[in-house]
Amino acid sequence: MNYPTNQYEVIVVNDGSTDQTGAILNRLQIRYGEKRLRVITIINNRGKAAGFNIALGFSKGQFLLSNDADSKPEVDALWKYMHYFEREGGDRLGAITGNMLLINKTSLVAEAQQNELNSIIGLIKRSQLSYGGLFAFSGANTMYRKVAILDVGGWQAEQPTEDIAISWDMQVHGWQAYCAPHIRFFMDVPETLPELVKQRRRWTAGGIHVLLTKSMDVFRHPIKHLAMVPIIVDYSLSVIWSLFFWLSMIAFVGVQVLCLVQGDWSRLITNFCFAAIFISIEIVVGLIQLIMASYFNDRGRSLKYIAFAPWYILIYWMVNTFTVAVEIGPTIIQILKGEDAGVWKSPKRSVEVVAKTKEEGNQDD
């Protein structure tokens, strides 16, 4: 990091790792010294939020940059983050999140996700900031004000997605949340469709969990938390639309099968034509969104990923709606039972990330 080494500390939380993480961290501590690299080892996996809360207790600084093991911030990220906290009017800034870019480009599934990252940062989060709210921080790379974390009681270990939960907590408690698209970090993304579905199921469960458990905190004082109201409405409509999508899909298939059985070819073809028109409109609107997102996010440098747009629009949107349909029921039951949802198994890392980790861990051998 391009930042004075005596002005920051590195704390690594080894949360129940069963691979070579512990050995690699030991070698890194020998190389850099225990004062520069502090390692917290948790024997049993307690979840990311629990690990963060433990690290919070050991931290010495007033600002904390969370960083996933498979994420890498740009070299001057600390300077850029601190600029927002130290500028005039930044005393109520609780946390600021950066711009996600992918590291691994080894599969169609991975490369297509750059379109999604552009959409999230290029349009969605910018539109949320226009009315002063933010649905979620990026758990992979976000800088928090320590006082703000303590004010909301830390990260909630029972939440499936701690980054969404603490974003809502901070804003409800009067802290500002911000997204800075020019602060970039590079993250590992799922490389196969099953891995993507698994990740999105957890994200969806986290969003629904927060929506159902924290919305009343906003509506108790809707004027005070006015910036959060559009976020709740938007996400609620997204959930409703996702459920309607699959209900209408089932109804459409049922009608088409009935037409086929009855030999009603005219109605069968007409229904297909209407469906084709709807899909065409969806693709056109999606392409417009992705092109605009690429322009706003990086002045069009990522337009090359538009080649993967059909895959993203047709498949990824269906994946996201599918995860809502399959997770809403279990999430509601989980909330009613008061079960802890903050522990999960880490995904398989890409070849690039694994190779880089081994290389950095063995440089002193």
Give the pLDDT mean for 216-223. Answer: 91
252 within domain boundaries: yes
Domain assignment of residue 176, yes or no: yes
Give the confidence band of 69 by pLDDT, cuts at 50, 70, 90: confident
Residue 308 sits in a domain whose CATH number is: 3.90.550
Query: Of 102 and 254, which is predicted with more confidence?
Result: 254
Q: Is the pLDDT of residue 3 over 90?
A: no
90 part of a folded domain: yes
pLDDT at 342 over 60: no
Whole-number Å distance between alpha carbons of 227 and 298: 27
Is there a domain that residue 37 lies in? no
Full domain range(s) for residue 90: 65-365
Residue 213 inside a domain? The answer is: yes
- Domain contains 45: no
Give pLDDT tens digits for 130-187.
Answer: 888 899 998 889 999 999 999 999 999 888 899 999 999 999 999 999 999 889 899 8
Query: What residues contact residue 276 under an 8 Å CB cut-off, 6+ apart?
Result: none
Share of the chain above pLDDT 90, in %: 45
49 assigned to some structural domain: no
By mean pLDDT, which of 57-66, 168-177, 259-268, 341-350 is the weakest? 341-350
Helical residues (DSSP H) of the chain, grouped into ranges: 21-32, 48-58, 77-86, 108-119, 126-130, 146-151, 162-172, 193-219, 229-262, 265-298, 309-311, 317-337, 351-362
For the chain, the domain total comes to: 1
Domain membership of residue 59 (yes or no) is no
- What confidence tens digit (pLDDT) does each residue in 26-48 have? 898 889 888 889 999 888 887 88
